[in-house]
Structure 1
Amino acid sequence: MKNKTLATWLAFLGGPLGLHRFYLFGFGDMLGWLLPVPTALGVYGLQRVQQWGQDDQLSWLLIPLLGFTIAGCALCAIVYGLMAPEKWNARFNQTAAADAAPGRTNWFTVFAVALSLLVGTAVLMASIAFSLQRYYEYQIEEARKISQ
C-alpha cells in the first residue's frame, strides 16, 4: 500500500534524489535514477560559484538545473498531495478499495503541499531570475567589447 502523504513528503524533501519515484515505482524506475544527475550538476555549479566567483559562465548553466529539479519535484509533491483518494488508490493501490486510508488526505499532506508550493515557487523564480540576470550581464559585456 502506497501512502499519499509519505509520497508527497518524499517528493518534496527527497525528490531531487528520486526518493519518491523509488517509493512509488521501485528501484527499477529509470527516472528515479536520472533525477540525481541534474541535482548533482546544480550542486557542482554552486561549488564553482564559491570557488571561481559569479563570473564563471559554466555555473550559470549548472545552477538553474538544481533549481528546476527542486521546483519540478515540488510540483510533483503538489500533484500527489492534491490527487483524489479514488484516483490515488486506482493508480498506486490497485488491490485496495477506492476510498482506502493510504490514499486519503490529512493535515500532514496539506502541510506538505503548502510547503511545496512555497519553496517550489521561490526556487523556480530565483532560478529564472539568476539565469536571466547572468545572461543579460553577459550580453552587455559582449556588446561593450564589440563597441570598443
Structure 2
Amino acid sequence: MKNKTLAAWLAFLGGPLGLHRFYLRGFGDVLGWLLPVPTALGLYGIERVQQFGQDDVASWWLIPLLGFTIAGCCLTAIVYGLMTREKWNAKFGQPEDADAGGTSWFTIFAIVLSLMIGAGVLMASIAFSFQRYFEYQVEEGRRISQ
C-alpha cells in the first residue's frame, strides 16, 4: 500500500532526487530519473557563483533550476497531502477505505512545511534571476551609451 503521508514527506524532503516518484511508481519511472538533473545543474550554478562571483551569466540560468525544482516538489507534496482518501486509494489501486490514504497530523506538518519552504524558495529564485537579468541589462545599456 502506498502511504499518502510518506509520499508527501518524500516529495518534500527528497523530491529533487525523485524519491517520491520511485516510491509511488517504482524505479522504472523516467521522470524520477530526470528530477536529479536540474537539481545537479542548480548545485553546479551555486558552485559557479562561489568560484566566479555573481557576475557569472551561466549561474543566473542554473541556480533558478534548483529553486524551481524544489518549489515544484513542495507543490507535489501539498497536492499529495490534500488529496482525499478515496481519490488517493483509487489512484494507487487500494481499497477505498484503506488507512494508507488517510490524513494525519504528520501529513498536515508536511503540507505546512512544504508551503512555507516552497513559497520562499520560489520567490527567492524568481527574485535572484530577475535581479541579475535587469542588472545585466543596465550594464549593457551603459556600455552601449558610452
Q: Into which bin does the TM-score normalised by the smaller protein fall?
A: over 0.9
Identity %: 76
The equivalent of 1:44 in structure 2 is: 44
How far apart in 1 are the matches of 2:4 and 2:109? Answer: 13
1 CA distance for matches of 2:109 and 2:97?
21
Query: Residue 73 of structure 2 aligns with which residue?
Result: 73
Structure 1: gaps of 5 or more residues = none
User: 3-state SS of the aligned residue for 2:141?
Assistant: helix
Count residues in correspondence: 146
Q: 1:129 aligns with which of 114, 119, 127?
A: 127
Q: How does 1:7-86 map to 2 (within 5 A)?
A: 7-86=7-86
- TM, length-normalised to structure 2: 0.99
1:115 to 104, 113, 118: 113
Q: For 1:99 and 1:131, how far apart are their aligned partners in 2?
A: 46
- Determine the structure 1 residue equivalent to 2:140: 142
Q: CA deviation at 1:99?
A: 1.6
Distance 1:129 1:3 in 2: 36
Show structure 2 runs of 5+ residues with no match: none
What is the deviation of 1:72? 0.2
Give per-residue Cα distances to partners, 1:53-107, cap 9 Å, x unaligned: 1011100000000000000000000000000000000001x1x321210000000
Partner Cα separation in structure 2 for residue 138 and residue 50 of structure 1: 19
Q: Alpha-carbon deviations, 1:21-51, whole Å to 9, x = none?
A: 0000000000000000000000000000011
Give how far 1:5 is off: 0.3
Give the partner amino acid of 2:80.
Y
